[in-house]
Amino acid sequence: MFNTRVKIKALLAQEPQNQEVTVMGWVRTFRNNQFIALNDGSTGNNLQVVAELGKFDEELLKRITTGASLKVKGTVVPSLGKGQKMDLVAQSIEVLGDSDAEKFPLQPKKHSLEFLREIAHLRFRTNTFSAVFRVRHTLAFAVHKFFHEKGFVYLHTPIITASDAEGAGEMFRVTTLPFDNPPRNEDGSINFKEDFFGRSTNLTVSGQLEGELGAMAFSDIYTFGPTFRAENSNTTRHLAEFWMIEPEMAFYDLEDNMNLAEEFIKYIIKYAIDNNKEDLEFLAQRLTEEEKQLPQDKRSEMGLMEKLDFVLNNNFERITYTEAIEILINSPAYKKKKFQYDVKWGIDMQSEHERYLVEKHFKKPVIVTNYPKDIKAFYMRQNEDGKTVAAMDILAPGIGEIVGGSQREERLEKLEERMAQMHIPASELWWYLDTRRFGSVPHAGFGLGFERMVQFVTGMGNIRDVIAFPRTPKSAEF
């Protein structure tokens, strides 16, 4: 039986008073043939196990190498050394799994994040990644806690769908048809009637449309699941498979939507600070070290903890898209032609523009509202001006867009009209349109990109380092 072991996090919280315990974990380092730094992933802190000289077999000691797994029984005593409050003086050591020191890719030294990405199957065993993924867990838990406390229903929307919720055509097809010789119609096109679902299907890009159906019965729902986008964006902010949280609320307008999004973001950040302080402090330290490599003007003005506190204690700036464009056009950056892409009303802001607004101009998260309808999805509520829609994007320092949302078009004719203009086939979305036929109500919702949120909280610069096994163009290892 293994379950009598104590986890290192729980043990380190105790006072050392000669208690006899069993621990299990992986060797991080083994110094002077005597001191084992043991880690079991419950905390970033290692337990110092002392193998007293002369007490253990040479053959056994040779097998205590970085990466090996051990079961250790011993006595907990106050540590004589600096840096830890307790030692576990080993009575017995059992090697559960050997790790050939010559072959184990993780050496007890600093590895680059790029290298660790190539061995993502082992990178959880590093300080940085174990901290990131504990924080990710806490944030995920906080998401559920926040919505549960507010009485939202967690709705599991489908992964395989026949619709394109965003209308952007960035979908991965799901099919069982043979590639070499698919059944064809008379005109040569592929006959999807013969496919598994009797129609063409794809992985979902968003659970929103189904989420809206739920909101029309439960009032408030949220989804939290994987979404897939076949966009060929090789950036530090894009994944082909990412997790999204999408709340959808009946009887909400754009302002209610903004208020909820801001409260939500602050809640989960606070929850992580309250519950993962050590990991966050470690990551803050890591970021400061990393930024020392950069020229002074490229370094963050605030440390990670400071930044998170700042976000908690300040209101997000709220501006319209039109105001944002004016700020950009009047900016020194624009006048000095520092932007690569031109700025004028109607553009889809590039990340350089978003970053200017957030990092240079306001220096805090910004909610931009009322975007031009032509750069936003078909379901957004049309404003009276005929040009804009009740959209909202939240832009975060260092990340750019972290949330996209809107009040939805609840008026059937307006929605049908917009779908026709944008060539969205109404016949395929008959079920979506039904919500506007039977008891339609003003409603709104948003999507938070979970990995971008984890990046924001952990300070990790590349989105591939906050999801366990990233899927990006030309990369689907592990």
Q: Which residues bind Mg ion (CB under 5 A)?
A: 404
**With CB cut-offs between 5 and 8 Å by kind, which of ligand 4AD, Mg ion, none does residue 165 bind?**
ligand 4AD
**With CB cut-offs between 5 and 8 Å by kind, which of Mg ion, ligand 4AD, none does residue 323 bind?**
none
- The site for ligand 4AD (CB under 6 A) is made up of 165-166, 206, 208, 229, 231, 238-239, 242, 244, 246, 401-406, 445-447, 449, 451-452
Q: Kindly provide the residue ranges of all beta strands, DSSP E only, lying in 229-307, ordered along the sequence.
A: 241-250
Residue type, 126: T
Q: Which is nearer to ligand 4AD, 294 or 375 (CB)?
A: 375
**With CB cut-offs between 5 and 8 Å by kind, which of ligand 4AD, Mg ion, none does residue 403 bind?**
ligand 4AD
Q: Which is nearer to Mg ion, 169 or 198 (CB)?
A: 169
Q: Which is nearer to ligand 4AD, 46 or 227 (CB)?
A: 227
Contact call for residues 389 and 376 (beta carbons, < 8 A) = yes
Minimum distance of ligand 4AD from residue 348's CB (angstroms): 11
**Residue 227 CB contacts under 8 Å (≥ 6 apart), including other chains:** 203, 204, 205, 206, 207, 241, 242, 243, 244
N residues, the chain:
478
Q: Which is nearer to ligand 4AD, 28 or 266 (CB)?
A: 266
Q: How far apart are CA 298 and CA 294, in angstroms?
A: 6
335 exposure class (CB count in 10 Å sphere: 0-12, 13-18, 19+): exposed
Contact call for residues 104 and 120 (beta carbons, < 8 A) = no
Minimum distance of ligand 4AD from residue 46's CB (angstroms): 33
Q: How far apart are CA 214 and CA 156, in angstroms?
A: 10
Q: Which is nearer to Mg ion, 231 or 416 (CB)?
A: 231
Minimum distance of ligand 4AD from residue 34's CB (angstroms): 47
Closest to 183 in 3D by CA, of 173, 174, 169, 193: 193
Q: Which is nearer to ligand 4AD, 166 or 279 (CB)?
A: 166
Contact call for residues 268 and 310 (beta carbons, < 8 A) = no
**With CB cut-offs between 5 and 8 Å by kind, which of ligand 4AD, Mg ion, none does residue 238 bind?**
ligand 4AD
Minimum distance of ligand 4AD from residue 394's CB (angstroms): 8
For Mg ion, the nearest residue by Cβ is 404
Minimum distance of ligand 4AD from residue 233's CB (angstroms): 6
Determine how β-strand 47-50 pairs with β-strand 400-407. Answer: unpaired
Minimum distance of Mg ion from residue 290's CB (angstroms): 28
Q: How far is residue 374 from each of residues 319, 352, 422, measured CA to CA in Å?
A: 19, 21, 9
Closest to 353 in 3D by CA, of 367, 339, 366, 364: 339
Minimum distance of Mg ion from residue 204's CB (angstroms): 16
Give the side-chain half-sphere CA count within 13 A for 424. Answer: 23
Q: Which is nearer to ligand 4AD, 130 or 204 (CB)?
A: 204
Please count the other Cβ atoms lying within 10 Å of the Cβ belonging to residue 310: 15
Q: Which is nearer to Mg ion, 202 or 406 (CB)?
A: 406
Q: Which is nearer to ligand 4AD, 125 or 452 (CB)?
A: 452
**With CB cut-offs between 5 and 8 Å by kind, which of ligand 4AD, Mg ion, none does residue 451 bind?**
ligand 4AD
Residue type, 164: D
Determine how β-strand 20-31 pairs with β-strand 47-50. Answer: unpaired
**With CB cut-offs between 5 and 8 Å by kind, which of Mg ion, ligand 4AD, none does residue 266 bind?**
none
Q: Which is nearer to ligand 4AD, 229 or 381 (CB)?
A: 229
Q: Backbone phi, then psi, for 137, in 5-degree steps? A: -60, -45
Contact call for residues 24 and 2 (beta carbons, < 8 A) = yes
Minimum distance of ligand 4AD from residue 266's CB (angstroms): 17
Minimum distance of Mg ion from residue 341's CB (angstroms): 17
Whole-number CA gyration radius for the chain = 27
Minimum distance of Mg ion from residue 233's CB (angstroms): 12
Place of tokens 């009797």: 198
Q: How far apart are CA 141 and CA 356, in angstroms?
A: 32
**Residue 152 CB contacts under 8 Å (≥ 6 apart), including other chains:** 218, 220, 221, 222, 247
